[in-house]
């Protein structure tokens, strides 16, 4: 399963890079928070609900406790299609919720909607 997750993350990163975005990746929520603390903050975060060590909901909860990260838009991309998960993600500060499998144009449209200036943005994919 880990290799499938890694392959999906790589595929998403390539799609975003082809569209002109700079992408930084992390394996899970803990690594994502560490990277966001150490590097220049991202312009947008793409996050899955199901991650090891710190899931997407825990990540959202921790992110909103850090003032300089709280305002970064977050797109949840997950296989969890239920309204309960969608509602929880939005309550925790997600800006959008896409269900996998997601077509490339759907993802890019959502990213562009949250990042209206078309300069090369830094997208963190977790």
Residues 13 and 78: their CA atoms lie apart, in Å, by: 15
pLDDT profile of the chain (126 residues), mean per 10: 70 91 90 88 90 92 90 92 94 94 90 74 63
| pLDDT on residue 116 | 67
Residues 109 and 32: their CA atoms lie apart, in Å, by: 23
| pLDDT on residue 67 | 87
pTM: 0.85
**CA of residue 53 relative to chain centroid, distance:** 16
């Amino acid at each position: 399963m880990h290799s499938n997750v890694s392959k999906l993350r790589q595929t998403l990163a390539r799609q975003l890079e082809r569209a002109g975005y700079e992408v930084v990746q992390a394996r899970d929520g803990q690594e994502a928070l560490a990277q966001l603390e150490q590097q220049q903050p991202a312009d947008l975060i793409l996050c899955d609900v199901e991650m090891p060590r710190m899931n997407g909901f825990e990540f959202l909860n921790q992110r909103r406790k850090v003032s300089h990260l709280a305002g970064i838009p977050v797109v949840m991309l997950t296989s969890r299609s239920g309204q309960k998960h969608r509602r929880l993600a939005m309550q925790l500060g997600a800006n959008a919720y896409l269900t996998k499998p997601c077509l490339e144009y759907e993802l890019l449209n959502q990213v562009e909607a949250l990042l209206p200036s078309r300069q090369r943005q830094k997208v963190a994919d977790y």
